[in-house]
Amino acid sequence: MRLRDFQYPLPPGLIAQRPLPERDASRLLLLDRETGAVVHRSFRDLPALLRPGDLLVLNDTRVLPARLYGATPLGGRVEMLLLEEAEATAWWAWVKPGRRARVGAWFSLPGGLVARVRERGPEGQVLLGFEGPLPVREVLERHGNTPLPPYIKRPAPPIGLAETLPPGAPRMDLEDRERYQTVYAREEGAIAAPTAGLHFTDAVLEVVRARGVEVASLTLQVGVGTFKPVRVAEVERHSMEAERYRIPEATARAVKEARGRGGRVVAVGTTTVRALESTADEGGAPRAGAGQATLFITPGYRFRVVDGLLTNFHLPGSTLLMLVSAFAGREQVLAAYREAIAARYRFYSYGDAMLIL
């Protein structure tokens, strides 16, 4: 397979920059994976599209406010995205501009925190050691910014590091703090939201359960692997970065029971698919426990667990689009995308949803 086979043109105006006022007001494109037929619905129709006995599986990861802005000793701006905690006072991170992240360099951060570059990683990330009066996680909660993807534009905050910034200063976007998080987020550690779940409200989940659909959860800490761009022409040569997952015993049991009663396993989001399929045995049962997901799903993959997929619309050439194409067929998915574009659907993280059954 070639990377060019997963490209499509998208008008920039269809990239959603803000969430809708109501989470469940999104549109929902229903794609029949057998016939390729497309039906346009509302996300509030989702419960009616599921059957009693089905199982809906959610990713309950919680997004860290992992983007920090700071200053060099000479007053230059730096932006850092904390990727993974190495120890209590050290994190792997991306720093921009990268030329300022030399080993030994240090940066001033809010809350009296100082970050020093200890070492460089193989793909541009650096290990930052932190010193200061507050734990790193507390500084993130107080001063961290939501790590929105780069296609969502927000003004960067000023580099003044006083505890109290001038009124109206865009230190953080409080709307994003709430809305770039699912209503069922529990397990902190992701650097990006499992965006298919952003459409859910507690009320929608109540209606789903009232219809006789079981709801279970797992955790996949969305990290670099999900968004690492494919930089090779031949898709098979791409390798996924590992992402941590945990499947509770109750969720593994719920999958087995759903299959036993003839229900469908419907995954909410590509991250949920990767967690379930990473541990599946030949009978389609995922194993409970924790591990590292490195599975790269492309067309030709045989799905063992997942029967349905709720997802958002994904970037051209992304591993997420490849996974969706594996589930419903590349040509059918790209045809559905063309129809969504013609119908002016909203794309990407804050955009509309697609249900494939």
Per-residue pLDDT tens over the stretch 112-131: 899 999 999 887 899 999 99
Q: Which residues belong to CATH 3.40.1780.10 in the chain?
A: 3-63+180-356
List the beta bridge partners of residue 38. Answer: 31
**Quick one: 3-63+180-356 is in which CATH superfamily?**
QueA-like (3.40.1780.10)
**Kind and range of the H or E element at 82?**
strand 77-87
Does residue 353 have a pLDDT over 50? yes
206-223: average pLDDT: 97
Read off the pLDDT band of 61 (50, 70, 90). Answer: very high
Q: What residues does CATH 2.40.10.240 cover in the chain?
A: 67-171
Instruction: Determine what percent of the chain falls in helix, strand and coil, rounding each to the nearest 5.
Output: 30, 25, 45
- Of 210, 312, 213, the C-alpha closest to 264 is 213
Dihedral angle, C-alpha 185, 188, 189, 195, nearest 10 °: 10
Spatial separation of the C-alpha atoms in residues 326 and 348, rounded to whole Å: 19
CATH topology of domain 67-171: Thrombin, subunit H (2.40.10)
Both tokens assigned to 68:
């920090």
DSSP code at position 293: E
Mean pLDDT, the chain, rounded, equals 92
As a whole-number percent, the residues of the chain with pLDDT over 70 amount to: 95
Per DSSP bridges, beta strands 214-220 and 55-59 are parallel
Q: What is the pLDDT of residue 226?
A: 66
| Average pLDDT of the segment spanning 280-308 | 93
Environment class of residue 228 by beta-carbon count within 10 Å: exposed (0-12), middle (13-18) or buried (19+)?
middle
Residue 328 confidence (pLDDT):
98
Mean pLDDT throughout 47-58?
A: 98
Are 307 and 264 within 8 A, CB to CB? yes
pLDDT at residue 54 in the model: 98
CA 204 vs CA 197, 209, 216, 348, 350: distances in Å: 11, 9, 15, 21, 18
Q: What is the pLDDT of residue 231?
A: 85
- 232-288: per-residue pLDDT in tens? 888 888 888 889 999 999 999 999 999 999 999 999 999 999 999 999 988 888 999
Q: What is the pTM of this model?
A: 0.92
pLDDT band per the 50, 70, 90 thresholds, residue 166: very low
Average pLDDT over residues 211-217: 98
